[in-house]
Chain A
Amino acid sequence: MGYKIASSKAGVNVGTATAPNDFNYSSDYNTLKYYTAGTIRVAGSAVFPNTNRYFGTITHGLGYYPFFSFFATDDSSATNFYPYGFVAVGAGGLTRTACARMGTNTMRFMYKITNASSGTISGTATFYYKIYRNNTNL
């Protein structure tokens, strides 16, 4: 017979409940577990009519591909936190893109600027990342 720990939601009988939604916690189910978090800023510019990519890298050192999440902001709209990056078309033909990719020991962030307007346009993206212990086993 297996043993487990379970805590049901208010009003639910922990001894008879079976649906995951009936529990606040059940050891039958895995959870997302944090490992580390941090912030990295990536700045860049583009002269019309170019598209330029800029990169920033952090080291997590886990040795495998972990579950991850992150928010990205663009300094031009710093109150908006975009989960898993953004593809934003700004005023005057400026397109900014922010995304990331994960390696077994590092995580790389990209800030891309497309200047379809004129002159030189600059910007900075800030990435707030969280890396989890959970191994994707990819």
Chain B
Amino acid sequence: MTQVIKVSKAGINVGTATDPNSFIFDSTLNTFKIVATGTVLGTISAGGLGNTGTVSTAHGLSFIPPVVGFIRTTSSAGTTILHPTAEEQISADHIFRSIWADGTNVNFEIRVASDISGTVFNCRYYAFEVPL
């Protein structure tokens, strides 16, 4: 007989529930694991409209991880964090183009607004487990 650990949501009988969404935790189901996370500060110079640069940091893993990330920017809209492919919310703003990982680094591709020079970006990545 297989032993399991389960925690059901409030009001749900853990002994009889079968829908995976009835559980907060179920040891028979894979839990999406964050295997590494980190931050990096990088500066990208403005170079006219559409100037794009990359901020990189080593992830220290032995494989190419799937990564999700966010960047913090400060503009006239205040200090906020952006998700990948977020467009500018005002006409002069930064764009977080993409995030990707290679065998060594996590890379944040950022397009700098044309009227803002020497912008420092604070970037956070989450590296997850390998699909296969």
Contacts and interface: CB of A to CB of B under 8 A. Distances in A.
Do A and B touch directly, given a CB cutoff of 8 Å in the complex? yes
Interface of A: 5, 7, 9, 20-21, 23-26, 29-32, 53, 55, 65, 67-68, 84-85, 87, 97, 99-103, 108, 110, 112, 136-138
Nearest to A68: B83
Question: For the complex, would chain B's binding face be called helix, strand, loop or mixed by DSSP majority?
Answer: strand
Contacts of B37: 30
B73 to A, nearest CB: 9
A110 B87 contact: yes
Interface stretch (B25-33, B47-55, B110-118): B25-33
B1 interface: no
Nearest to A5: B5
A9 B39 contact: no
Interface in B107-132: 122-124, 126, 129-130
A24 B27 contact: yes
A112 B4 CA distance: 48
Question: For the complex, would chain A's binding face be called helix, strand, loop or mixed by DSSP majority?
Answer: strand
Contact of A24 (B28, B80, B85): B28
A30 B34 contact: yes
B81 interface: yes
Contact of B31 (A24, A68, A137): A24
Contact of B32 (A32, A100, A136): A32
